[in-house]
């Protein structure tokens, strides 16, 4: 069921983006009197799942979910329909239109995706606002995971700066972003009452962006251990523990923080332990005996940081959300440009950052949360616009590149040249799609066999 939810979110998001992108080409084409023969969601080699002729245009849904297209009369595209190019140009054909009109038609798709991305970001802020944990409110500092420990962080540290940027919002992704994208090579923390600067080796940009580490946390907020969720019929529930019970000790050893509880039970499996427990609203501490299972767990989840620390929420009015969403989109695009720059420098490996549908789908999560769905859709819209602008024949950016050449030089590339260039571009794009999804398959095989 979880997989179906993930697939459903990915398909819906891509369908929205593809249809609106193609409308970005369709509307200016029709405005300039250009005939659009087909408008398709997904590709339809040999057959389509659905099609309907309305006026001059056939609308349909293909079976191959690798994108979508509009087939514009008199245009050399991925359909490679060269037969119509052998006849004399007709007034309703793309090739008969002035270069500036053809340029607007080709830029229509990415323009829609840029506008859509900024607009969705704005509407997410308008509908849900922003909630975050101010770093200064996490008074117990951080609880590091193994990757954060290797980086040089320690449990109890309070992160102050990443490079020269103050650490104001508690989120370990800020450190990942600072190191991998902003090239930060120092982390300033407060440790044992004094400031300490941790030097970061260049290798960490590569390590933190490896596919295997993308879901690994560097640290979380250090918190006391209060039960947030207890599994039905799990060891904790059977022992009488309830949500909001605070765990204060294990076998007589004080465990004021959750990480200390984890240390205390490490290696204990299929054994009974004695917990010091205080219920919410009670001042007394009672002892509770719990039998840990074969994995050393009592099947509870701790209460989240916001249970202990005050978060900050920013609400946006409609007019306020527009510039805020625009800024969020610009920052996102800026990060993409910087990431490409780090790839060219060799600090980030392309094969570790590249991913196909499985990688994209995993970012939606296994639960359908509308705020996250629309945030992901906005991000994908901007990525789609950015990638489509790359000067690769068969992509919008390739067509734009040749049109700009025509506008500047006054000479139009020949149909034969365009056919060959489009074929080369199509092979490049198809190769990237195969590579990205092949990497996902390889990662899945490695994960299955524990490699």
Structure tokens at 125: 């802020």
Closest CA to 150 of 195, 211, 201, 185: 201
pLDDT value at position 3? 82
CB-CB contact of 355 with 387 (8 Å): no
Predicted confidence at residue 382, as pLDDT, reads 94
Identify which of 160, 113, 102, 112 has the alpha carbon closest to the alpha carbon of residue 136. Answer: 160
* Residue 15: predicted pLDDT: 93
15 vs 90: which has the higher pLDDT:
15
Phi, psi of 133 (to 5 degrees): -100, 110
Contact residues for 416 (Cβ-Cβ < 8 A; gap 6+)? none
Q: If pLDDT is split at 50, 70 and 90, which confidence band does 50 have?
A: very high
pLDDT, tens digit, 9 for 90 and up, residues 218-231: 999 999 999 999 99
pLDDT greater at residue 39 or residue 439: 39
- Among 82-96, 134-148, 196-210, the minimum mean pLDDT is found in 82-96
First-to-last alpha carbon distance for the chain, in angstroms, is: 26
The per-residue pLDDT of the chain, averaged, comes to 88
More confident residue, 277 or 96: 277
In this prediction, residue 439 has a pLDDT band, given cuts at 50, 70 and 90, of low
Fold of 225-302: Pdz3 Domain (2.30.42)
Query: For the residues 209-216, what does the mean pLDDT come to?
Result: 78
Beta pairing, strands 246-250 & 225-230: antiparallel
Asked if 130-221+303-314 and 225-302 have one fold, the answer is: yes
Average pLDDT over residues 69-87: 71
| Separation CA 94–CA 418 (nearest Å) | 14
The residue ranges of every structural domain in the chain are: 2-22+30-39+72-128+370-448, 130-221+303-314, 225-302
Angle between helices 318-345 and 370-388 (to 10 degrees): 50
Percent of the chain past pLDDT 70, that is, above it, reads: 93
CB 156: neighbour CB atoms within 10 A?
Answer: 17
User: Rounded to two decimals, what is the model's pTM?
Assistant: 0.84
| Lookup: tokens for 139 | 């008074």
Of 59-63, 207-211, 343-347, where does mean pLDDT reach its minimum?
A: 343-347
Confidence category of residue 67, pLDDT binned at 50, 70, 90? confident
DSSP output for 119-148: HHHHHHHHHH-EEE-BGGG-TT-EEE-HHH
Least confident of 276-290, 356-370, 377-391: 356-370
Q: Which CATH topology does 130-221+303-314 take?
A: Pdz3 Domain (2.30.42)
298-317 pLDDT, tens digit each: 999 999 999 999 999 999 99
- Separation between Cα atoms, residue 270 and residue 435, nearest integer Å: 45
pLDDT of residue 85: 61
Residue 301 buriedness (CB in 10 A; 0-12 / 13-18 / 19+):
exposed
Identify the pLDDT of residue 266.
92
- Please tell me the predicted confidence (pLDDT) of residue 447: 56
């Amino acid at each position: 069921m979880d997989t179906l939810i993930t697939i459903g979110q990915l398909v819906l998001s891509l369908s929205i983006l593809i249809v609106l992108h193609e409308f970005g080409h369709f509307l200016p084409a029709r405005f300039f009197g250009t005939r659009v023969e087909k408008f398709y969601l997904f590709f339809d080699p040999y057959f389509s799942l659905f099609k309907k002729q309305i006026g001059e245009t056939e609308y349909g849904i293909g079976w191959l979910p690798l994108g979508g297209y509009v087939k514009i009369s008199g245009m050399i595209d991925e359909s490679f329909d060269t037969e119509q190019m052998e006849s004399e140009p007709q007034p309703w054909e793309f090739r008969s239109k002035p270069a500036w009109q053809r340029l607007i038609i080709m830029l229509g798709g990415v323009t829609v995706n840029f506008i859509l991305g900024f607009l969705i970001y704005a509407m997410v802020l308008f509908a849900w606002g922003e909630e975050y944990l101010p770093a200064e409110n996490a008074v117990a500092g951080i609880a590091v995971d193994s990757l954060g420990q290797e980086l040089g962080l320690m449990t109890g540290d309070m992160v102050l700066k990443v490079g020269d940027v103050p650490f104001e919002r508690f989120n370990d992704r800020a450190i990942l972003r600072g190191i991998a994208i902003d090239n930060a090579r120092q982390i300033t923390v407060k440790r044992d009452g004094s400031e300490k600067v941790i030097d970061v080796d260049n290798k960490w940009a590569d390590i933190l962006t490896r596919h295997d580490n993308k879901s690994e946390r560097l640290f979380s907020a250090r918190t006391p251990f209060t039960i947030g969720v207890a599994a039905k019929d799990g060891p904790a529930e059977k022992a009488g523990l309830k949500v909001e019970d605070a765990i204060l000790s294990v076998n007589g050893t004080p465990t004021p923080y959750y990480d200390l509880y984890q240390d205390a039970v490490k290696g204990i499996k299929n054994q009974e332990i004695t917990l010091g427990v205080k219920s919410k609203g009670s001042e007394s501490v009672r002892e509770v005996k719990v039998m840990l299972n074969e994995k050393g767990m009592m099947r509870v989840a701790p209460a989240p940081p916001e249970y202990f620390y005050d978060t900050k929420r920013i609400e946006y009015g409609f007019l306020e959300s527009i510039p805020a969403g625009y800024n969020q989109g610009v920052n996102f695009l800026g990060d993409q440009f910087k990431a490409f720059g780090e790839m060219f420098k060799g600090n980030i490996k392309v094969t570790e950052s590249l991913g196909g549908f499985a990688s994209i789908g995993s970012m939606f999560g296994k639960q359908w949360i509308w705020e996250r769905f629309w945030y992901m859709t906005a991000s994908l819209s901007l990525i789609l616009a950015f990638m489509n602008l790359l000067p690769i024949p068969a992509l919008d950016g390739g067509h734009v590149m040749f049109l700009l050449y025509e506008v500047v030089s006054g000479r139009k590339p020949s149909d034969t040249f365009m056919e060959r260039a489009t074929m080369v571009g199509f092979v490049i794009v198809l190769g990237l799609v195969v590579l990205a999804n092949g990497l996902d398959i390889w990662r899945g095989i490695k994960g299955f066999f524990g490699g």
